[in-house]
Structure 1
Amino acid sequence: MTLGDGVRRNIAGVSPEERTLLRDAILKMNATKWDGTRDDPVPGGVTWWFKQDEIHKATHVHGGPEFLPWHREVVNRFEDQLRVIDPRLSLHYWDWTQDPRSIPGANLGTSTGTLNLFTPQFMGFGGASLQPIGQPFEAAGFYDPQANPFRSDNAFDPNNNPADKPRAVNRQVNGTPIEPVRDQEVLDAAEYTPMRKLLEKSHNKMHGFVNMGNAHISFRDPFVFLLHSNVDRLFALWQLRTGHPERLDPEHVYGAESDDPELNGNVEPWSTGHGDEGDVRPWCAPENLGIPHTYKDPSIVTPRRYDTNPGVV
């Protein structure tokens, strides 16, 4: 494997140096802000990191045909921003058939051995009780116990300005990984609808295993991107199964759900900036950087490169 080759890999298989580069790039995302100020009509001054939480809160979709392609777009755009910071990086994935606290045969640099992803050197706290994720993220301002004003955990709380830090980002790791047979059931699904339902069921279970607060605030936790990169990896692997060219065809990939109005509507907030729970800059006014596109756009239908894609080494 080569740093900078554009392939997303099992995070346990990349070198310790590359894991450190990925961590450092995520930390740096909280040091760069979008234009504007927190008191603008549509808040500005949001860091690249907290923009992920703002996007997810305003527009995320679950339980429907858009679940997989919407999360593919958010993952792809996050990877693009990582590459602005360090062009060599890819958004690697956590293989959820492995316990992230104890992954055997991992790349430890000069040897292989057991790897815990939840240390101050990488993803922070990962114990059995719900606690703040700690270092290195507290020092980088991913949360501040004394923040005032602060971004609330309650989606209905008026203290929800995306430019503000939360007072905590909590995590709890308690449970067991997905059984490999569950992934195989996803890959063996004949049509998009049963596949995405099976995959979302596994996703939901893994959000319980690695509890990042709740569904509305999980995108404040950097580990969420390793989880969702794996969701997208399995979607990609299903698309690339031999004998199914229609799964790479925008008009047929979604099978019986291809005519669903949501799949044929704008992908938000990146089309117009208008989310279900508020507008999101810079895709809405005043920047108006949105580019209207649907879930059939080739940038969404075509998967990125994973080490499990056929022909990728």
Structure 2
Amino acid sequence: MALGDGIRRNIATVDPVERTLLRDAILKMNAPRWDGTREDPVAGGVTWWFKQDEIHKVTHVHGGPEFLPWHREIVNRFEDQLRVIDPRVSLHYWDWTQDPRSIPNANLGNGHAGSLNLFTPQFMGYGGSDLKPIGQPFENAGFYAPQANPFRSDNAFDPNNNPADPPRTVNRQVNGLPIDAPRDQDVLDAPDYETMRRVLEQSHNEMHGFVNMGGTHISFRDPFVFLLHSNVDRLFALWQHQPGHPERLDPEHVYGPLNGNSELAGNIEPWSSGRTLNEVTGQENLIRPWYDPEKMGIPKSYKDLSVVIPRRYDTNPGVV
């Protein structure tokens, strides 16, 4: 396992040193800021970390064919920013057939294997059965600030929702059981994209309930969400790589009968123009730096090769 090889692996199998590097890179994402100030007509001064929450809150798509490619794009872009901070890291995944509180035969370093809990102050913070703040190491890094004023509200309709402001808390609780392995096999056995997407999204929904990160519109304030979504993308990638199905890596055929679907025909936002329609409020949102004044948006469709071709996972054929 060479640092910097760009392969996403089961987080429990990488060396503890690499887990620490990933944690530190995530923590450092809350320091650099995009241009502008919070008082600008379109808010600027948002940290690289809180930009993830801003994007997901107003743009994310669930319950439709764009669910998988849209989340692949946000996961890929997040990993790219992590690598700006530390080019040695990859966005590894949580295999949701394993209980993150007690993963057996995990890599504990120095040739030792044993039980691993991902929810410690040394990695992902709190992971108990009661809904509580995630705590360290994220509170000290400003992922939330209990005394913040102004602060970012949890309510999408609350006008006090400036993305440059921290929330007062980020809560988490872990209750229930992980996914049974046969459920993942159901994903891989799906005969077409839409069947696969529905099965995979259902597992995704259940695992968001197992590791409760506060709800649909605020879950991307919790760093664990990226380990979960890296696994979603891994299973999508593994389905694409099933033997005998080269069409699943072909932009013109990957979505099967849905290839001409109007929702998949459009560009991926906000990265194409910075203009999005908030599915909660029904109002248009403008997101920098893809909107004015930076205008960094570059139109990209759901058939773009960077969206259709997955990143490298340790479960991809030919990857070790």
TM-score with structure 1 length normalisation? 0.99
State the alpha-carbon separation in 2 of the partners of residues 143 and 150 from structure 1: 9
User: Which residue matches 1:20?
Assistant: 20
- 1:96-132, Cα deviation, whole Å (9 max, x unpaired): 0000000000000021000000000000000000000
Matched, 1:233 2:250: no
CA contact (8 A) 1:58 1:280 kept: no
State the alpha-carbon separation in 2 of the partners of residues 39 and 283 from structure 1: 18
User: Which residue matches 2:299?
Assistant: 292
Secondary structure of the equivalent of 1:258?
Answer: helix
Q: Using the TM superposition, give the Cα deviation of residue 305 of structure 1 relative to its aligned residue in structure 2, in angstroms.
A: 0.2
State the alpha-carbon separation in 2 of the partners of residues 49 and 153 from structure 1: 16
Unaligned runs of 5+ in 2: 279-284
- Calculate percent identity across the aligned residue pairs: 78
Q: How does 1:184-223 map to 2 (within 5 A)?
A: 184-223=185-224
User: Which residue matches 1:157?
Assistant: 158
User: Which residue matches 2:288?
Assistant: 281
Secondary structure of the equivalent of 1:262?
Answer: helix
User: Which residue matches 2:282?
Assistant: none
User: Which residue matches 2:141?
Assistant: 140
C-alpha RMSD of the superposition: 0.5
User: Which residue matches 2:124?
Assistant: 123
CA contact (8 A) 1:212 1:221 kept: yes
State the alpha-carbon separation in 2 of the partners of residues 138 and 163 from structure 1: 16
Q: How does 1:1-313 map to 2 (within 5 A)?
A: 1-110=1-110, 111-277=112-278, 278-313=285-320
TM-score with structure 2 length normalisation? 0.97
State the alpha-carbon separation in 1 of the partners of residues 70 and 17 from structure 2: 31
CA contact (8 A) 1:69 1:295 kept: yes
Q: Using the TM superposition, give the Cα deviation of residue 33 of structure 1 relative to its aligned residue in structure 2, in angstroms.
A: 0.4
Unaligned runs of 5+ in 1: none
Instruction: For 1:284, give the aligned amino acid.
Output: Y
State the alpha-carbon separation in 1 of the partners of residues 62 and 71 from structure 2: 9
Q: Using the TM superposition, give the Cα deviation of residue 232 of structure 1 relative to its aligned residue in structure 2, in angstroms.
A: 0.1
Moved over 2 A (4+): none
State the alpha-carbon separation in 1 of the partners of residues 25 and 18 from structure 2: 11
Secondary structure of the equivalent of 1:216?
Answer: coil
State the alpha-carbon separation in 2 of the partners of residues 51 and 173 from structure 1: 25
Q: Using the TM superposition, give the Cα deviation of residue 238 of structure 1 relative to its aligned residue in structure 2, in angstroms.
A: 0.2
Secondary structure of the equivalent of 2:68?
Answer: helix
- 1:165-216, Cα deviation, whole Å (9 max, x unpaired): 0000000000100000000000000000000000000000000000000000
What is the number of equivalent residue pairs in this alignment?
313
- 1:195-245, Cα deviation, whole Å (9 max, x unpaired): 000000000000000000000000000000000000000000000011001
CA contact (8 A) 1:192 1:254 kept: yes
State the alpha-carbon separation in 2 of the partners of residues 77 and 163 from structure 1: 19
